[in-house]
Structure 1
Amino acid sequence: MEPVIGIIGGSGLYQIAELADAEWHEVATPFGAPSDALLHGRIDGTRTVFLPRHGRGHVQTPSSVPYRANVAAMKAAGVTHLVSVSAVGSFREEMAPGDFVIVDQFIDRTFAREKSFFGPGLVAHVSVAHPVCPALSGACAKAARQAGAKVHEGATYLVMEGPQFSTLAESRLYRDWGCDVIGMTNMPEAKLAREAELHYASVAMVTDYDSWHPEHGSVQITEIIETLHGNVARAAGLVAALPGHLGASCDAGCETALDHAVITAPEARDPAMVERLHGIAGRLLTGDAPS
């Protein structure tokens, strides 16, 4: 099956000019409306679907982003490989503003978001021990370097609720925990992508040093926006180069993540939940995989 690339763009990335035959399509999902319409097109002949995470004009806060609807919309559009592009602060001197970081782990500190497609009447426990697709992450690293970015591979992303930035004490604590970058949006997105059995990768674009750095002080939104402009140009280059690097096959089980995850017995499953989850877990709920 040919891959279909999905791009969820974070702060500063609200459209992709590189898409050929681009058209916006309004969509609805059983989990509500996504952040915006989906932009369908092709890059180097590969079907690509783009969604601005915060909506055009940046109207959604990190807490109000409809994460379930966003991932469900991508799945319904046929996306197989979902790439998150987001702005982050850095806890590491070597991960400087303007650098790209390919994330492979998360610490989820959010508390005001729906974090699963499943629920009462249809319970599932999916593993997120390794929450990203290594093959897709590797392709993103190669594409980012081709676009001229300085790239760091392998990092832990602390996901905070926001919308405020960290206190100095929090920033120091997260550094002590071994976190590398901090942002507000990759959770529950990564967990939902795993439940939807999508290949998922996180490309974090560093805009600042959070508040821990003695020479940079507190985070200033004007400085972040200035750095974002440069990052967005390289992000567009990454997206344009990505189809050429998707050759590696995934052996991490992304496409079968729900095998053995559903706990609710078939006879006890809520029919309304089964119907609601058809677009996410239809492969499993229709009996095509073990439960």
Structure 2
Amino acid sequence: MLVRLRHSRRQLALPALQFGLVLAVLHFDQGAASLIALALLLATGLLGWVSALRHARLIDDTPTSRIASAAQGYAELRGRAQPLGGTPLLSPVDGLPVLWYRLLIERKQRDGKWRPVSRDESEASFLLEDGSGSCVIDPDGAEMLVRRRDLTLRDELRYTQWSLIRHDRLYVLGDFATLGSIDADFDLAAQVRDLLAEWKTDHPALLARFDLDGNGELDLKEWELARAQARREVRQRQAARLSAPELHVMRQPQDRRLYLISDLDPAIIARNYRRLAAFHAAVFLGAAAATAWFEQIGVF
């Protein structure tokens, strides 16, 4: 099973950076260079530790909500993936319908190794359904943890595609918002004032509608007629919004909290993050111990 992380480049790059820093500590004889490498190890270890542990806790502590009754804000949803509608998204490899894909194209070199040629990732939204309703899932900015991987060989090219398809079980953690519903604090008077102000910007049209005596001005009676018409139009707009179906959307949180889309069980994801946190904690503690030891033997 392969899990592909889309936006966790920092998490993926940290172990490589830390390995390079360990080699630097072992290679350099100069105290200053070793001290800088150890300081970077401490910083990256602490950063990775805190970040991975925070992600694990978000997954563990956020309860699963039903779409129909989910509160606005940070939420966790589970359900089945479905197409959004319209023109279906087709895989660039085999032309089959998919909901989301990430494609890596590699070319085989003379030494037998594969070298990346290009990368591509879809941006189209899709639906999650949980029996109580449907929610549009916007993959922009999401960390994608996807198991399905297909390999295709064509001449000297290798195509590796990760994808989500219809009816896949989905777990989504992010910012839940309902669009199209009327706000609880809807202010009728304010809406009427705004509409009247809009009408005033086109004075000839305003006179054409409400200047009943044709004298080029609106008297009190005519102005009250305009107010009454504005109230009617605002109430019509309010009724139309109340009768319109609500649109639920899951998107990237603005506060930079984890935005996750996966076909994995969340317990597995949280466990993987805890393991990653343990790795970074070991790096941090090891770097701290090495620093103390180097100080003790007088390297610094």
The TM-score normalised by the length of structure 1 is: 0.24
Q: Decide which structure has greater helix share.
A: 2
Q: Taking CA–CA contacts closer than 8 Å with sequence separation of 6 or more, which of the two structures ends up with the larger relative contact order?
A: 2
Compare CA radii of gyration and give the structure with the larger one: 2
